Structures are given as C-alpha cells and as structure tokens.
C-alpha cells in the first residue's frame, strides 16, 4: 500500500504546495522501513504531519527559545562542542536533534550529517530520516497495536501537540480505509 497525492492532501491539506514532491519520497522511505498497511502509514503520516507543520518545515524554527538554548552542551544529545545546539537543531520530518542523533542517522543513511546537517532539509533525506527514526524506536510495533499516545511520547518525549496529532491520525485512518 502506497499513499497517493490525493490521500496525502486529504490528511494534510496545508501541504498543498509540496505534496507532489513528498509523495514519492514518502512511499520510498515507508517501503524501506516497513511502514506498510493502514495502521502504520496512518500513524506515521499523522506524526510527521504534526512534527513538520504538514510538511512545511523540515528545520526547527530557531529563536532560540529557552528549550532550544538548553540543547547547547547536552551530553545526552551528544552536543559536546560550542555551537552544537544550533548546528544540530531539529531537522527532517521527525526532528532529528543533537550531534549523537545526526551521527547515528548519517551512518544509517550513508550521509555525512556532521559536516552537512542541512542535508536533512532535502525532501528525500527529511523523509528517510523520519522513517529511520520511526524504525529504530520500534514504532511499527506500537502502530500495529494502536498505541498512538506511546508513539507520540517516543517521538516528542511528552504529549506536546497531542490533540493535533490525534486529529491527523483519525483523519488518516479514514482516508486510508
């Protein structure tokens, strides 16, 4: 099962300008990482839809906010050098954040994301990094079990934006039925 541009726009209507660019790369990434079938695809599209403001942002908008300023020097993110917080801000459809995550993602995708973190802003890499993150966090299993709230916690660390995520998920389940 692949998602069509029409289906994607029914779920993420604000993606109108970029839907045609993202449909093929979404289908490639979902296929590569086993994000197949209605439950998995609906959960994935809902989560990436929320995380990227419906495919409109592939780079974290930088203030820096208090939370973003806190990225600097965070060893759990691998941010060990001055400037790592901003350099390795959230990028991709699921915001890969921190030097350590960029390193792991780059190794998995065969990209030098430490030297070129902006590669995660390109549609094919933004999408593939999201599918890689999804897979490495065991989210297909949670999607199969309908554990959407647990998926949000693994992606977000909490439940920020859960109402929007849930609304997108409910819509995706209907569109993909």
Tens of pLDDT, residues 156-176: 989 999 999 999 999 999 999
Per-residue model confidence (pLDDT) at position 18: 97
Per-residue model confidence (pLDDT) at position 104: 98
The interaxial angle of helices 123-136 and 19-32, nearest 10 deg, is 30
* Alpha carbon distances (Å) from 76 to 64, 80, 98: 19, 9, 8
Checking if the pLDDT of 86 tops 90, the result is yes
Contacts of residue 143, Cβ cutoff 8 Å, sequence gap at least 6: 35, 39, 40, 42, 43, 44, 151
The residues carrying an active-site annotation are 51
Domains along the chain with CATH numbers: 5-58+124-175 (no CATH), 66-120 (3.30.20)
CA distance 88 to 116: 10
Checking if the pLDDT of 31 tops 90, the result is yes
Checking if the pLDDT of 23 tops 90, the result is yes
Query: What pTM was computed for the model?
Result: 0.95
Per-residue model confidence (pLDDT) at position 1: 85
Residue 87, Cβ density class (10 Å: 0-12 exposed, 13-18 middle, ≥19 buried): middle
Per-residue model confidence (pLDDT) at position 43: 98
**Tens digit of pLDDT for each residue in 105-159?**
999 999 999 999 999 999 999 999 999 999 999 999 999 999 999 999 999 989 9
Q: What is the mean pLDDT of residues 43-50?
A: 98
Nearest to 165 by CA among 94, 100, 115, 73: 94
CA distance 58 to 88: 13
Nearest to 84 by CA among 132, 123, 76: 76
Express as a percent the part of the chain with pLDDT over 70: 100
């Amino acid at each position: 099962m692949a998602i069509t541009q029409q289906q994607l726009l029914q779920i993420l209507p604000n993606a109108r300008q970029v839907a045609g660019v993202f449909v093929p790369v979404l289908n490639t990434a979902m296929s590569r990482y086993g994000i197949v079938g209605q439950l998995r695809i609906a959960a994935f599209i809902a989560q990436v839809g929320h995380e990227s403001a419906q495919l409109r942002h592939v780079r974290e908008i930088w203030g820096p906010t208090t939370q973003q300023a806190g990225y600097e020097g965070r060893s759990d993110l691998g941010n060990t050098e001055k400037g790592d917080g901003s350099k390795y801000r959230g990028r991709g459809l699921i915001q890969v954040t921190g030097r350590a995550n960029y390193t792991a993602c780059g190794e998995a995708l065969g990209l030098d994301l430490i030297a070129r973190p902006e590669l995660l802003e390109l549609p094919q890499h933004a999408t593939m990094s999201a599918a890689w993150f999804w897979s490495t966090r065991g989210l297909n299993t949670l999607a199969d079990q309908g554990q959407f709230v647990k998926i949000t916690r693994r992606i977000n660390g909490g439940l920020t934006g859960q109402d929007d995520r849930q609304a997108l998920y409910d819509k995706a389940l209907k569109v993909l039925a």
